[in-house]
Amino acid sequence: MPGKASHPALVWPRTDGEKSRWPQTSPPKANDWYFEEVPENDPKYQLYEHKAAEGIVRFLGLKIDATKQRIPLPEGYKIYAHRKKQPDGSLRTDYYVFGSSNAPRFRSTREFEPHAVWLFDTSKSILDHSQCGCPYSKVGKRIKARQSLSAAPKRPLPSASPSPAQISAKRPKTDGDDTDKEKEKAEGKEKGKKKERVAPASEPRLKAARVVQETKLKDQVHEQEELGEDIQDPDNEGTIPSIVPDRAAELTQNRRFRKGELVWYKIDTILPSDELPESNDVRPLTHWPGLVSNVELTVRTVDPPARSSKMAQMIVQFYAYHIRPLGIFSPYDEVIMDPKDMIPWLGGDQLNGGPRAYDAVGQQAMHALRQHAQKQAEEMKKQGKGPKEMEMILKEPPGWRTRWGKKIKFSEMKDWDMIVTKFAFALRVAGIIGKCWTLTDRIEPLEDDPDLSDEDLKALKAGKKIFYQGLFWGGERIWLEDMVRLKANRKIYAQNQNFPPPSEGAFERAVTMRISKIEIERDSNSRSVTFNCMLYGDLYEIAELSEDEMTDPERGYLNVLTGEEGSGQIPAVFGYHAPEGYAYRQLNPEDSETMCEISDLAGRIHPDFLDADKQNWYMDPKRREETAGRLEPNNHPYAIMGLRPGSEAACHGTMKWKRDLIQIVHDSSLRVEEDMMFFYVKSIREVLGLPVPGKGYKETGDKEVGVGENNTKAAS
């Protein structure tokens, strides 16, 4: 049995180990080499366990003796002995650690230790091995390791074979096989292609797709081939991962919030001024809108409560969310938040007093701008300048850049006029972002992709279809394989004869889709060049579990593994949790998939949104005794959980397509700032008696500021 970890913090958070990477063992041979599996009680295991633990302890900063610690090898890893007969008749033995899907093998503890630290550092994507410090992650380190180990075997060692076809095609290489090296390599690739299966329509499509942005991963595969004289790498070009690192990290790590998303975050409560109009409707500000700029895994050691305590140090790992507040702030200003103090944008319907209070915020912001503009106009009057000179001055309106347009830090806001104006600005920008969308991470499918029909392939070549891995929709980051809420009610699908009858109460809950394909296709009915964005996948209703079913915790878990993952691409998400007490019930037949337009999308689903352990603002319906400091949720939070129809919490109105997220954020901020500045200058001109240019101008408060389906409108 493998050794046990010596410290509670020494538990692998993840592994890249795969049994398919183990070499083939064989009986001892008199004239050739062979592999033998090393017993788990062998001293070699103890050596790797101690050295790996030593490096991890240093990485975590544990205040313990690193030299006395141990951690078992990660799951999927094993040590093998490579034995080879020497010319003098002796038997040479070298020990290797196999199992990593990112390295052919590790030849020493020095090679393995940085890889072990990389596995512990979950802030780095497990699909981006270039960030690892082991010799198999960078070209320079690989070459150096190769040159320094001249005693390593110079013939290819047998690689683990994922299929019977490859087992029959590859055998341990002998000295007489050199002339057949290229032929065998080509045959192996051909046989590998023949083993690809055609996936049912209900499974994720584009299995063999390659991502345009994944060129670095392709280069890594070629770099591994340079080490072929030592040990063959089981991977080849056909196994390049077809998933971008951000998508892998955000799906597999099950983060509540994702990079680029629009959120509400908790602030120190700001009390409104009672000297401004409409002050009775303005409520204390408790949350501010912002964008998630980065998600960082933070590691912290916690000492025992008392020196005499026998408790060991605790290692706390948590995600710290870096958020850039919306408003006219410094672009480098960020706040770091705990996810418990964050709420999805669509879930903020009740924050800060809600829509009525936001109307009053708009009124107060306009009042503050108008008053300051009038003071500046009076000062300009005292200067006795003529209309032309005043027009020149208004090109850089006095007081704008030094006060309203100045990019300060969030913490530097002092007076209420400044706060309410920047908050109104933030609401306006967030409202625009919430009505925009864009596609991300284009995919280039292979021509021999078994999931592509001849019609699809023809459309791809003609540029009439394009596939993507993700999108931003109304401030939410959505990926292929996500479970999402649709706007359509279950009643719409009740008449479909291919679907089962609705379960009890299903009409009052959401219909969801597990996205298997994001596609844009040319609209053949349009005279101009336009595209429609379509989502494909399996359709589900959220069904309530019976009392007997609720005793089984697995009943609310949707497992999407097919049992045949070895012959296709393994899903990034193995299953989905429904809201507690419910389960996902598939509507479309297993051998089919459904489709809908992008406009039918309501947003992400957060089944545990109201869990009191995961948010600090709304009451948890399961723990109603905990009411202090919490609001009774309305339908919006329940809709985000999937327990109300998707239309209850969705982006409404016309969604505008943009080139990318940068354009969405930049254009919305620029547009709002220009409008506010125009209103400020307009107020100056009115006092000075100057003409107000710009027909069709809409004042700051006249544009929508949406929070879900609620809008903020303010008139001068």
d(CA 256, CA 244): 19
Q: pLDDT tens-digit profile of 265-312?
A: 999 999 998 776 656 789 999 999 999 999 988 777 767 666 555 556
Whether residue 46 is contained in a domain is answered as yes
Highest mean pLDDT among 199-203, 349-353, 536-540, 548-552: 536-540
DSSP 63-82: SS-GGG---PPPTT-EEEEE
Question: Nearest Cα to 584, choosing from 647, 494, 509?
Answer: 509
Q: Are residues 387 and 490 in the same domain?
A: no
Q: Are residues 507 and 622 in the same domain?
A: yes
Confidence (pLDDT) at 187: 45
Question: Nearest Cα to 361, choosing from 267, 284, 266?
Answer: 284
Tokens standing for residue 215: 């060129």
Q: Mean pLDDT, the chain, as a whole number?
A: 79
Q: Does the structure show a pLDDT above 60 at 115?
A: yes
d(CA 368, CA 554): 56
Which is more confidently placed, 68 or 2?
68
Tokens standing for residue 134: 């082991």
Residue 492 belongs to domain spanning: 436-650
Confidence (pLDDT) at 667: 94
Q: What percent of the chain has pLDDT over 70?
A: 76
Whether residue 137 is contained in a domain is answered as yes
Confidence (pLDDT) at 311: 57
Whether residue 474 contacts residue 435, with contact meaning beta carbons closer than 8 Å, is answered with: yes
Q: Does the structure show a pLDDT above 50 at 214?
A: no
d(CA 101, CA 219): 16
d(CA 670, CA 668): 6
Whether residue 194 is contained in a domain is answered as no
Please give the helix or strand (H or E) that residue 586 lies within, else none.
strand 582-586
Return the minimum-mean-pLDDT range out of 56-65, 468-477, 533-542, 630-639: 56-65
Question: Nearest Cα to 317, choosing from 11, 4, 64, 5?
Answer: 11
Q: Are residues 494 and 402 in the same domain?
A: no
Q: Are residues 486 and 596 in the same domain?
A: yes
Question: Nearest Cα to 544, choosing from 508, 589, 503?
Answer: 503
d(CA 80, CA 48): 13
Q: Are residues 368 and 449 in the same domain?
A: no
Whether residue 316 contacts residue 8, with contact meaning beta carbons closer than 8 Å, is answered with: no
Whether residue 344 is contained in a domain is answered as yes
Q: Are residues 139 and 4 in the same domain?
A: yes
How many domains are contained in the chain?
A: 3
Cα 653 versus chain centre, distance:
26
Paired residues of 521 in beta bridges: 465, 532
Whether residue 583 contacts residue 555, with contact meaning beta carbons closer than 8 Å, is answered with: yes
Question: Nearest Cα to 440, choosing from 468, 474, 464, 463?
Answer: 468
Domain boundary among 141, 174, 207: 174
Amino acid at 141: K
Whether residue 519 contacts residue 595, with contact meaning beta carbons closer than 8 Å, is answered with: no
Confidence (pLDDT) at 450: 64
For residue 267, report the phi and psi dihedrals to the nearest 5 degrees: -125, 165
H-assigned helices in 195-280 = 215-225, 245-252
Q: Are residues 409 and 277 in the same domain?
A: yes
Return the minimum-mean-pLDDT range out of 4-13, 166-175, 271-280, 346-355: 166-175
Return the minimum-mean-pLDDT range out of 21-25, 226-230, 555-559, 624-628: 226-230
> Which residue is listed with tokens 């319907």?
349
Question: Nearest Cα to 603, choosing from 346, 428, 351?
Answer: 346
Whether residue 479 is contained in a domain is answered as yes
Q: Are residues 51 and 158 in the same domain?
A: yes
Tokens standing for residue 571: 């899903």
d(CA 96, CA 107): 5
Tokens standing for residue 59: 């990485």
For the chain, give the longest Cα–Cα distance. 107
Q: Which pLDDT band, with edges at 50, 70 and 90, does 175 fall under? A: very low
Domain boundary among 174, 203, 228: 174
Highest mean pLDDT among 30-44, 128-142, 306-320: 30-44
d(CA 174, CA 159): 14
Question: Nearest Cα to 660, choosing from 467, 442, 472?
Answer: 472
Which is more confidently placed, 525 or 666?
666
Q: Which long-range contacts (CB under 8 A, 24 or more apart) does 381-389 make?
A: 381/687, 381/688, 387/690
d(CA 152, CA 659): 52
DSSP 479-548: ETT-EEEESS-GGGGTT-TTSPPPPTTGGGS-EEEEEEEEEEEE-TT-SS--EEEEEEEEEEEEEEPPHH
Q: Which pLDDT band, with edges at 50, 70 and 90, does 313 fall under? A: low
Q: Are residues 462 and 373 in the same domain?
A: no
Provide the b/e sequence for 628-649 (b: ≥16 CB within 10 Å): eebeebeebbbbbbbbbbbbbb
d(CA 233, CA 188): 13
Tokens standing for residue 57: 């302890």
Q: Are residues 389 and 518 in the same domain?
A: no
Paired residues of 442 in beta bridges: 468
* DSSP state letter for 400: I
Whether residue 164 is contained in a domain is answered as yes
Confidence (pLDDT) at 548: 78
Q: Are residues 562 and 591 in the same domain?
A: yes
User: Would you call 225 helix, strand, or coil by DSSP?
Assistant: helix
Q: Does the structure show a pLDDT above 50 at 513?
A: yes
Whether residue 256 is contained in a domain is answered as no
Whether residue 425 is contained in a domain is answered as no
Domain boundary among 174, 193, 213: 174
Confidence (pLDDT) at 558: 82
Return the minimum-mean-pLDDT range out of 33-42, 131-140, 454-463: 131-140
Q: pLDDT tens-digit profile of 532-569?
A: 999 999 999 999 998 877 777 667 778 775 433 333 45
Q: How many CA atoms lie within 13 A of 240 on its CB side?
A: 24
Q: What Cα–Cα distance (Å) separates residue 469 from each residue in 211, 212, 237, 477, 636?
A: 9, 11, 20, 11, 28
Enumerate residues 6+ apart whose C-beta is below 8 A from 549: 555, 583
H-assigned helices in 81-214 = 109-120, 139-148, 164-169, 181-194
Q: Are residues 379 and 515 in the same domain?
A: no
Q: pLDDT tens-digit profile of 54-95?
A: 999 988 888 899 989 999 999 999 999 988 888 887 888 999
Q: Is the pTM of this model over 0.75?
A: no
Q: pLDDT tens-digit profile of 227-250?
A: 333 333 333 333 334 578 888 888
d(CA 241, CA 207): 10
Q: What Cα–Cα distance (Å) separates residue 382 from each residue in 379, 390, 539, 682?
A: 5, 12, 70, 19
